[in-house]
Amino acid sequence: AQKVTQAQTEISVVEKEDVTLDCVYETRDTTYYLFWYKQPPSGELVFLIRRNSFDEQNEISGRYSWNFQKSTSSFNFTITASQVVDSAVYFCALRKIQGAQKLVFGQGTRLTINP
Amino acid sequence: DAGVIQSPRHEVTEMGQEVTLRCKPISGHDYLFWYRQTMMRGLELLIYFNNNVPIDDSGMPEDRFSAKMPNASFSTLKIQPSEPRDSAVYFCASGTRETEAFFGQGTRLTVV
């Protein structure tokens, strides 16, 4: 069975601080995708990144970066120089590459950036 | 592309009434998913379709819930009869094997 754990239920930081959201996953599959989605207060789910299990290179996109470590089954997300607009609930998710295409989500981390 | 379109955005209904949620996926996507989001259970998959065929409905809570996909551009999720515990945000998403899932804006359902 697949499982995604986001142990941090809520995080609150002051603007401009760096913050890391943790994601640990469990799967018996050798190939899979990992995702991060953002859910701002308006409620929609916004795709941020998809990572293939073959590719352990870290990725950076502006102030966002992702650290994928297969050895520890983790896919952590760091926001550098946080801004108030980053306040949202962030979800990590897992999906097989072959077979069932359903996304398995973690419980989410509510991030609050205070001015 | 307009993205995944869900209607209505908000629905308030009385217990016992039938509720129908609608979804128009992104053109060309062959997978369609229905998720439910609650505070207690988070985001849970109810059912998903591939090429209009239901593949996995193990997340459908009970027989009161049913979903259909009569063609590639339309799907419905029906609850009959509705109960207060069905109150949640229901998301529809579409995608392909090679892409991420794109989510609609969601339907906030309140059953009173």
Chain A residue numbers with beta carbons less than 8 Å from the beta carbon of B44 are 105
**pLDDT tens-digit series, residues B2-37:** 799 999 999 999 999 999 999 999 999 999 999 999
Per the structure block, which two tokens stand in for A46? 């916004």
Predicted local confidence at residue A50, as pLDDT: 93
- CB-based contact, A50 to chain B, within 8 Å: yes
Predicted local confidence at residue B107, as pLDDT: 98
Which band of pLDDT confidence, cut at 50, 70 and 90, is reported for residue A98?
Answer: confident
Predicted local confidence at residue A57, as pLDDT: 84
Q: Which of A25-29, A56-60, A96-100 has the highest mean pLDDT?
A: A25-29
Average pLDDT over residues B59-84: 95
Q: Is A55 exposed, middle or buried (0-12, 13-18, 19+ CB in 10 A)?
A: exposed
Which band of pLDDT confidence, cut at 50, 70 and 90, is reported for residue A24?
Answer: very high
For the beta carbon of residue A115, count every other beta carbon within 10 angstroms.
7
Mode of pairing for the β-strands spanning A59-61 and A64-69 = antiparallel
Average pLDDT over residues A17-27: 97
* Nearest residue of chain A to residue B6 (CA atoms): A44
End-to-end CA distance of chain A: 41
Q: How far is A100 from chain B (nearest CA, A)?
A: 8
DSSP-derived 3-state class of residue A98: coil
* Nearest residue of chain B to residue A97 (CA atoms): B97
Chain A and chain B share a number of CB contacts under 8 A equal to: 45
Which band of pLDDT confidence, cut at 50, 70 and 90, is reported for residue A1?
Answer: confident
Chain A residue numbers with beta carbons less than 8 Å from the beta carbon of B45 are 102-104
Predicted local confidence at residue B1, as pLDDT: 64
Q: Is B91 exposed, middle or buried (0-12, 13-18, 19+ CB in 10 A)?
A: buried
Taken in order A94, A107, B94, B67, the sign of the CA dihedral is: positive
- CB-based contact, A48 to chain B, within 8 Å: no
